[in-house]
Amino acid sequence: MTSHQASRRLYRLLLHLYPQNFRYYYGAELEQVFIDSLDIVTAKHGWWSLPYCWIRIALDTIAQSTRQRIGALFPGAHRASESNRRKGMVNMNTIQDIKLAVRSLVKRQLFTAIVVLTIGVGIAGNTAIFSVANAVLVRSLPFHDPERLVTLDVMGHAGYHISLSIPNYLDWKERNRSFESIAASSPWTLTLTGSGPAEVLSGRLVIGDFFRTLGVDPALGRLFAGEETEPGAEAVAVLGHRFWNRRKRWPQRADGPGYHLQPG
């Protein structure tokens, strides 16, 4: 008789500690788990570890069979103890999985670096998408009554957007019966010269009551009125808050000497 056959017979005797119904449903499975455990222990530590393995299995079988016997006599207590046991097993399995994952990542450094980089790129992409969605869809525009603002575009015969001419704008303004005010703007490139090297700036050329239409107030100084955008009026400019903070040496009065804004 081999050692495995003897161990199998002894374990079958231990299984009689369990209730008969339990042995009927789970006996064969427990026996196979027992044999697999013996194979793993002997392959890893040798035959000398069999006594220690047998002691642990016997004690575990006694404890589990006692719990099953009590559960058969007191079903309520069995359900409560089984629930607590499963919670403990879930917690232990989670901790073991975390430890195993950490050890695997430490051993495979290249794979870990790729995973961390992929997660970082994914988080950055989601953050960028959320920022755009928050600014466009969720957060309201920084204007007074933004829900009343309307953008008017000119479409050509081919279906493309075309630039609005000043005569068309003046016609809209004269015939307007629906809007409180109308203003127009267009992208414009400027060159700032004066103190320090020249700097190319991106701005907008506006006409009409632009700031009153948007409903914004200046943080410093004043805004120009619609009359100051008419042909022949003196050229004026309003600086953005970001540009103002970047140019720390800019004087309190933006119209002071030494600074020039030129088209192009």
In a domain, 93, yes or no: no
Which among 35, 36, 32, 30 has a CA at the least distance from the CA of 16? Answer: 30
Does residue 99 lie within any of the structural domains?
A: no
**To the nearest 10°, the Cα dihedral for 8, 12, 14, 18?**
140
Residues 201 and 218 in one domain: yes
173 and 118 both lie in a single domain: no
Looking at the domain assignment, is residue 156 inside a domain? Answer: yes
Whether the Cβ atoms of residue 220 and residue 240 lie closer than 8 Å to each other: no
Domain edge (last residue) among 99, 123, 139: 139
Query: Residue 236 is part of which domain span?
Result: 147-263
Phi, psi of 248 (to 5 degrees): -65, -25
pLDDT digits (tens, 9 = 90+) for 176-231: 888 888 888 888 888 888 766 788 888 888 888 888 888 888 888 888 888 888 77
CA-to-CA distance for 226 and 230, rounded, in angstroms? 7
pLDDT cut 90: percent of the chain above it: 0
Q: Could you tell me if 120 and 208 lie in one domain?
A: no
Q: Last residue of a domain, which of 73, 92, 124?
A: 73
pTM of the predicted model as reported, rounded to 2 decimal places: 0.42
Which of 87, 118, 139 represents a domain boundary (last residue)? Answer: 139
| Residues in a beta bridge with 199 | 192
Region class of 220: left (phi > 0), else alpha (psi between -120 and 50), else beta: beta
- pLDDT bracket for residue 93 (50, 70, 90): low
140: its two tokens: 């309201």
Residues 156 and 248 in one domain: yes
- Residue 229 in domain: yes
Domain count within the chain: 3
